[in-house]
């Protein structure tokens, strides 16, 4: 009579966890590719629309190119504004929170297939800080705000917050607050309207968990926008 061999449940569970992890990674990669394709499609439609509505002047009408002189503001705006990059998320944070929150949050969001405006990626020597921040906010669909004690005491972070609130009030952007080492009472004292928004705290969730929740929300919203967009012939 053949003996019954009890299955190794520990090995089976380990293989199941590996399979689940591989499946999750495949889904993240697929979502990233889909979002990149959608972003390219939106940019192509926008660019073709601009081509139909305006004509591009000859190079000889641009003194900075024809005469070899430096760009003035108007010519620079013409050359580069049509090719501005669009972002899913703008990250507003204090520099003191980079290591604990901002960098790992950005990395996790990018691993989920999102395009992120983050100062370390976008700012270059000689850039106008105000102009780059303004364009980053204007070209982002969501604003993630890492609110901490350092955040509320800094000038630039308050400047960014003002811009994000303006776009949110106008219905052009969604704000997603993340609280870091700060109490609700401190947030209320700083901004009652900001404290009223549903937030995630690094006290209760890991940065990776917060990033996954943000990514799921953004991808769901972008999918709805993409579905609702009418198909237009080129």
Name the residues annotated as catalytic: 160
For residue 217, give Cα distances in angstroms to 90, 115, 160, 200, 222. Answer: 15, 14, 22, 13, 9
92 in Cβ contact with 164 (< 8 Å):
yes
Q: Which of 91, 115, 112 is nearest to 103 (CA)?
A: 91
Q: Strands across the sheet with 140-147, in order?
A: 116-117, 87-92, 140-147, 174-179, 200-201
CA–CA gap between residue 142 and residue 164 (Å, rounded)? 9
How many H helices and E strands in the chain?
11, 5
C-alpha 121: how far from its chain's center? 12
Q: Return the number of other C-beta atoms located less than 10 Å from residue 207's C-beta.
A: 21
Strands 174-179 and 200-201: parallel
Q: Which of 182, 225, 204 is nearest to 86 (CA)?
A: 225
SS3 state at 2: coil
């Amino acid at each position: 009579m053949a003996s019954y061999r009890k299955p190794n449940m520990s090995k089976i569970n380990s293989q199941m966890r590996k399979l689940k992890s591989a499946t999750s990674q495949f889904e993240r990669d697929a979502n990233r590719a889909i979002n990149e394709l959608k972003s390219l499609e939106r940019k192509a439609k926008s660019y073709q629309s601009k081509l139909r509505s305006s004509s591009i002047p000859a190079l000889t009408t641009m003194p900075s190119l024809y005469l070899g002189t430096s760009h003035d503001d108007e010519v620079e705006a013409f050359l580069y504004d049509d090719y501005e990059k669009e972002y899913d998320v703008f990250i507003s944070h204090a520099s003191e929170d980079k290591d604990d929150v901002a960098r790992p949050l950005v990395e996790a969001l990018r691993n989920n297939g999102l395009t992120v405006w983050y100062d370390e990626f976008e700012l270059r020597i000689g850039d106008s800080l105000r102009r780059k921040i303004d364009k980053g906010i204007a070209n982002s669909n969501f604003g993630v705000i890492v609110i901490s004690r350092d955040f509320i005491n800094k000038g630039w972070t308050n400047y960014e917050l003002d811009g994000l609130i303006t776009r949110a009030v106008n219905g052009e952007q969604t704000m997603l607050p993340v609280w870091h080492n700060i109490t609700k009472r401190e947030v209320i004292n700083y901004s009652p309207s900001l404290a009223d928004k549903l937030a995630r705290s690094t006290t209760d969730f890991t940065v990776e968990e917060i990033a996954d929740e943000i990514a799921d929300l953004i991808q769901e919203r972008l999918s709805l926008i993409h579905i609702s967009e009418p198909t237009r012939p080129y």
